[in-house]
Amino acid sequence: MTTITNVRREVLAGGRVKGAMVRAHLQFVRDRIGEAALAQTLQALPKELAAEVHNVLTSTWCAFESLIQLDRAIARVAGGDEKELLRELGRYSAQINLSTVYRAFHRDDLHEFFRHSATLHRQFQDFGTCEYEHVGDGHGKISVRGAVCYSPTYCTSEVGYLEQVISTHGGTSVSVVETACQCAGDDRCTFELRWH
Protein backbone atom coordinates (compact mmCIF):
# COMPACT_ATOMS: atom_id res chain seq x y z
CA MET A 1 0.00 0.00 0.00
CA THR A 2 1.39 3.39 -0.94
CA THR A 3 0.83 6.65 0.87
CA ILE A 4 0.64 9.92 -1.02
CA THR A 5 3.71 11.98 -0.18
CA ASN A 6 4.28 14.07 -3.32
CA VAL A 7 1.44 16.58 -3.31
CA ARG A 8 2.02 19.08 -6.07
CA ARG A 9 -1.16 20.98 -6.81
CA GLU A 10 -4.64 22.03 -5.85
CA VAL A 11 -7.66 23.62 -7.51
CA LEU A 12 -9.95 25.53 -5.17
CA ALA A 13 -12.53 27.07 -7.52
CA GLY A 14 -15.60 25.44 -9.00
CA GLY A 15 -17.16 23.36 -6.24
CA ARG A 16 -19.31 23.67 -3.14
CA VAL A 17 -19.83 21.73 0.09
CA LYS A 18 -22.85 21.65 2.37
CA GLY A 19 -22.84 24.11 5.22
CA ALA A 20 -23.03 21.30 7.78
CA MET A 21 -19.32 20.69 7.26
CA VAL A 22 -18.45 24.36 7.73
CA ARG A 23 -20.68 24.63 10.81
CA ALA A 24 -18.97 21.59 12.34
CA HIS A 25 -15.53 23.12 11.76
CA LEU A 26 -16.61 26.38 13.39
CA GLN A 27 -18.05 24.41 16.33
CA PHE A 28 -14.74 22.53 16.63
CA VAL A 29 -12.96 25.84 17.23
CA ARG A 30 -15.55 26.88 19.84
CA ASP A 31 -15.43 23.55 21.68
CA ARG A 32 -11.72 22.75 21.47
CA ILE A 33 -9.96 26.12 21.38
CA GLY A 34 -12.53 28.64 22.62
CA GLU A 35 -14.73 31.50 21.54
CA ALA A 36 -11.80 33.95 21.39
CA ALA A 37 -10.01 31.64 18.94
CA LEU A 38 -13.14 31.53 16.78
CA ALA A 39 -13.20 35.34 16.61
CA GLN A 40 -9.47 35.34 15.78
CA THR A 41 -10.02 32.73 13.03
CA LEU A 42 -12.82 34.73 11.41
CA GLN A 43 -10.76 37.94 11.64
CA ALA A 44 -7.91 36.20 9.78
CA LEU A 45 -10.18 35.67 6.75
CA PRO A 46 -11.10 38.20 4.05
CA LYS A 47 -14.28 40.03 5.10
CA GLU A 48 -16.64 38.44 2.50
CA LEU A 49 -15.30 34.95 3.17
CA ALA A 50 -15.68 35.40 6.93
CA ALA A 51 -19.29 36.48 6.42
CA GLU A 52 -19.98 33.49 4.13
CA VAL A 53 -18.67 30.87 6.58
CA HIS A 54 -20.09 32.58 9.66
CA ASN A 55 -23.60 32.85 8.18
CA VAL A 56 -23.83 29.53 6.32
CA LEU A 57 -26.65 27.19 7.37
CA THR A 58 -26.26 23.43 7.63
CA SER A 59 -28.53 22.94 4.60
CA THR A 60 -27.07 25.63 2.32
CA TRP A 61 -23.99 25.51 0.11
CA CYS A 62 -20.60 27.05 0.77
CA ALA A 63 -17.74 27.48 -1.72
CA PHE A 64 -15.09 24.76 -1.48
CA GLU A 65 -12.42 27.46 -1.52
CA SER A 66 -14.02 29.12 1.51
CA LEU A 67 -13.91 25.86 3.47
CA ILE A 68 -10.22 25.36 2.63
CA GLN A 69 -9.32 28.93 3.63
CA LEU A 70 -11.30 28.51 6.86
CA ASP A 71 -9.50 25.27 7.71
CA ARG A 72 -6.11 26.85 7.05
CA ALA A 73 -7.02 29.80 9.28
CA ILE A 74 -8.09 27.38 12.02
CA ALA A 75 -4.75 25.59 11.71
CA ARG A 76 -2.81 28.87 11.97
CA VAL A 77 -4.76 30.01 15.03
CA ALA A 78 -4.54 26.60 16.75
CA GLY A 79 -0.84 26.11 16.05
CA GLY A 80 0.85 22.73 16.38
CA ASP A 81 0.79 19.89 13.84
CA GLU A 82 -1.37 21.08 10.90
CA LYS A 83 -2.00 17.59 9.48
CA GLU A 84 -3.15 16.23 12.83
CA LEU A 85 -5.40 19.26 13.35
CA LEU A 86 -6.99 18.75 9.92
CA ARG A 87 -7.61 15.07 10.67
CA GLU A 88 -9.15 16.10 13.99
CA LEU A 89 -11.41 18.59 12.15
CA GLY A 90 -12.58 15.72 9.95
CA ARG A 91 -13.17 13.42 12.93
CA TYR A 92 -15.10 16.13 14.74
CA SER A 93 -17.20 16.88 11.65
CA ALA A 94 -18.17 13.21 11.36
CA GLN A 95 -18.94 12.96 15.06
CA ILE A 96 -21.17 16.04 15.03
CA ASN A 97 -22.91 15.47 11.70
CA LEU A 98 -23.51 11.72 12.07
CA SER A 99 -25.18 12.33 15.42
CA THR A 100 -27.36 15.22 14.18
CA VAL A 101 -28.19 16.25 10.61
CA TYR A 102 -27.00 12.98 8.98
CA ARG A 103 -28.08 10.46 11.65
CA ALA A 104 -30.68 9.06 9.22
CA PHE A 105 -27.79 7.72 7.13
CA HIS A 106 -26.51 5.43 9.91
CA ARG A 107 -26.36 1.74 8.94
CA ASP A 108 -25.53 -1.30 11.07
CA ASP A 109 -23.16 -2.62 8.39
CA LEU A 110 -20.22 -0.38 7.48
CA HIS A 111 -20.05 -1.61 3.89
CA GLU A 112 -23.72 -0.75 3.50
CA PHE A 113 -23.11 2.69 5.00
CA PHE A 114 -20.27 3.42 2.58
CA ARG A 115 -22.23 2.14 -0.43
CA HIS A 116 -25.16 4.33 0.59
CA SER A 117 -22.86 7.31 1.21
CA ALA A 118 -21.36 6.98 -2.26
CA THR A 119 -24.79 7.24 -3.86
CA LEU A 120 -25.61 10.31 -1.74
CA HIS A 121 -22.27 12.01 -2.38
CA ARG A 122 -23.78 14.76 -4.57
CA GLN A 123 -26.06 15.87 -1.75
CA PHE A 124 -23.05 16.90 0.34
CA GLN A 125 -20.60 18.17 -2.27
CA ASP A 126 -21.37 19.12 -5.84
CA PHE A 127 -18.12 17.94 -7.44
CA GLY A 128 -16.74 14.53 -8.34
CA THR A 129 -18.29 11.08 -8.55
CA CYS A 130 -17.95 8.78 -5.56
CA GLU A 131 -17.67 5.00 -5.74
CA TYR A 132 -17.31 2.42 -2.96
CA GLU A 133 -15.61 -0.93 -3.42
CA HIS A 134 -16.17 -3.71 -0.87
CA VAL A 135 -12.76 -5.42 -0.86
CA GLY A 136 -13.29 -7.88 2.01
CA ASP A 137 -14.30 -8.18 5.65
CA GLY A 138 -13.17 -4.96 7.29
CA HIS A 139 -11.68 -3.65 4.06
CA GLY A 140 -13.02 -1.22 1.48
CA LYS A 141 -12.03 1.60 -0.85
CA ILE A 142 -13.69 4.93 -1.54
CA SER A 143 -12.75 6.77 -4.73
CA VAL A 144 -13.78 10.21 -5.90
CA ARG A 145 -13.18 10.76 -9.61
CA GLY A 146 -13.50 13.81 -11.79
CA ALA A 147 -13.54 16.41 -9.02
CA VAL A 148 -13.19 19.92 -10.45
CA CYS A 149 -11.65 21.07 -7.17
CA TYR A 150 -9.29 19.34 -4.77
CA SER A 151 -6.82 20.21 -2.05
CA PRO A 152 -4.45 18.35 0.27
CA THR A 153 -6.15 20.24 3.11
CA TYR A 154 -9.47 18.62 2.22
CA CYS A 155 -7.99 15.15 1.69
CA THR A 156 -6.28 15.23 5.10
CA SER A 157 -9.56 16.24 6.77
CA GLU A 158 -11.34 13.46 4.83
CA VAL A 159 -8.99 10.86 6.34
CA GLY A 160 -10.09 11.96 9.82
CA TYR A 161 -13.74 12.01 8.76
CA LEU A 162 -13.55 8.43 7.48
CA GLU A 163 -11.70 7.27 10.61
CA GLN A 164 -14.52 8.63 12.78
CA VAL A 165 -17.25 7.17 10.54
CA ILE A 166 -15.73 3.72 11.00
CA SER A 167 -15.35 4.19 14.78
CA THR A 168 -18.90 5.51 15.10
CA HIS A 169 -20.17 2.36 13.38
CA GLY A 170 -18.27 0.11 15.81
CA GLY A 171 -15.06 -0.48 13.85
CA THR A 172 -11.81 -0.90 15.79
CA SER A 173 -8.13 -0.90 14.78
CA VAL A 174 -9.08 1.67 12.16
CA SER A 175 -6.71 2.54 9.31
CA VAL A 176 -7.48 5.05 6.56
CA VAL A 177 -4.78 5.68 3.95
CA GLU A 178 -5.06 7.82 0.84
CA THR A 179 -3.47 5.71 -1.91
CA ALA A 180 -4.22 7.96 -4.91
CA CYS A 181 -4.80 11.71 -5.03
CA GLN A 182 -5.66 14.28 -7.68
CA CYS A 183 -3.31 16.65 -5.84
CA ALA A 184 -0.46 14.29 -6.78
CA GLY A 185 -1.55 14.05 -10.43
CA ASP A 186 -3.75 10.93 -10.16
CA ASP A 187 -7.15 10.80 -11.88
CA ARG A 188 -8.96 10.26 -8.57
CA CYS A 189 -8.62 10.39 -4.79
CA THR A 190 -8.80 6.90 -3.28
CA PHE A 191 -9.00 6.13 0.41
CA GLU A 192 -8.26 2.59 1.54
CA LEU A 193 -10.23 1.67 4.67
CA ARG A 194 -9.44 -1.17 7.09
CA TRP A 195 -11.00 -2.09 10.41
CA HIS A 196 -11.89 -4.99 12.70
CA dihedral sign, ordered 99, 105, 106, 110: negative
What is the Cβ-side half-sphere exposure of residue 83, based on CA atoms within 13 angstroms?
A: 5
- pLDDT tens-digit series, residues 90-100: 999 999 988 76
Mean pLDDT score, 91-110: 77
The pTM of the full predicted model, rounded to 2 decimals, is 0.90
Q: What is the pLDDT of residue 177?
A: 97
pLDDT number for residue 160: 97
Q: What band does 66 get if pLDDT is binned at 50, 70 and 90?
A: very high
Inter-CA distances, 89 with 22, 115, 191, Å: 10, 23, 17
Confidence of residue 104 (pLDDT cuts 50, 70, 90): low
Residue 2 has pLDDT above 60, yes or no: no
The answer to whether the CB of 94 falls within 8 A of the CB of 168 is: yes
What are the pLDDT digits (tens) for 21-31?
Answer: 999 999 999 99
Q: Would you say residue 84 has pLDDT above 80?
A: yes
Residue 7 binned pLDDT confidence (cut-offs 50, 70, 90):
low
51: confidence class by pLDDT, cuts 50, 70, 90:
very high
For residues 98 and 80, which has the higher predicted lDDT (pLDDT)?
A: 80
